[in-house]
Structure 1
Amino acid sequence: MGILSWIVFGLIAGAIAKFLMPGKDPGGIIVTIVIGVVGGLLGGWLGSSVFGGGGVTGFNVVSFVWAVIGSLILLLIYRLAVRRRA
């Protein structure tokens, strides 16, 4: 699956990650979108390289789940980093 697909997945995954992990984020919707896109790329890399060895291909449920997992990981890291600064 290409990078463009992971970016589109990331946009949707970022919204779902925000829904699954509600709360007030200092960056607002723009930061959530960026976290979703980067999280989708992270999830694609994790699913393809680290855990699956090429098992994540195409537009399917497994690929989408990896994108959401990547977004949740980054959203959690972001919230922890922002709280420590505040």
Structure 2
Amino acid sequence: MGIIAFIIVGFIAGLIARAILPGKQSMGLMATTLLGMVGSLLGGLVGSLFSRDGRLFELRPAGLIMSVVGAIVVLLIVGAVGRRRVHA
């Protein structure tokens, strides 16, 4: 997958993750894109553990789903760290 496709998939995964999770996430377009890209990497690595073909960076429907799941996990972690920082 090329870098442009990776950025686009990251942006879409970040938008979907932000739409799925309730609450207010104060992020701009760049932060949403970075969230989705990190989530895509995380989801891709976890998904490759269960894949037998060894193709890590290919655009597949299961990869898109794992990108969204990874972005949700990253968003939850960022939210938990942000709450601790505010209350501490």
User: TM-score band, normalised by the shorter chain?
Assistant: 0.7 to 0.9
Once superposed, which parts of structure 1, at least 4 consecutive aligned residues long, lie more than 6 Å away?
none
Gap regions ≥5 residues in structure 2: none
- TM, length-normalised to structure 2: 0.77
* Contact 2:18 2:25 survives alignment (8 Å): no
Quick one: which amino acid aligns to residue 18 of structure 1? R
1:28-48 CA-partner distances (Å, limit 9, x unpaired):
123222111111111112112
Q: Residue in 1 aligned with 2:65?
A: 65
Shift, 1:56, TM fit: 5.8
Partner of 2:45: 45
Amino acid at match of 2:59: F
Aligned identity (percent) is 36
Give 1:13 deviation, angstroms. 0.4
For residue 79 of structure 2, what is the aligned residue in structure 1?
79
Q: Is this contact kept in 2: 1:14–1:36, CA < 8 A?
A: yes
Question: If the length of structure 1 is used for normalisation, what is the TM-score?
Answer: 0.78
CA–CA distance in 2 between the matches of 1:38 and 1:3? 16
Aligned residues: 83
| Aligned partners of 2:45 and 2:56 also within 8 Å | no
Amino acid at match of 2:80: L
Superposition deviation, residue 19 in structure 1: 0.5
* Deviation for aligned residue 1:9: 1.6
Question: Cα–Cα, structure 1 residues 57 and 25, in superposed 2: closer, same or farther, change >3 Å?
Answer: closer
Q: Which moved more, 1:8-17 or 1:54-63?
A: 54-63
Instruction: Provide the alpha-carbon RMSD of the alignment.
Output: 2.1
Please list every run of 5 or more consecutive structure 1 residues that lacks an aligned counterpart in the other structure.
none
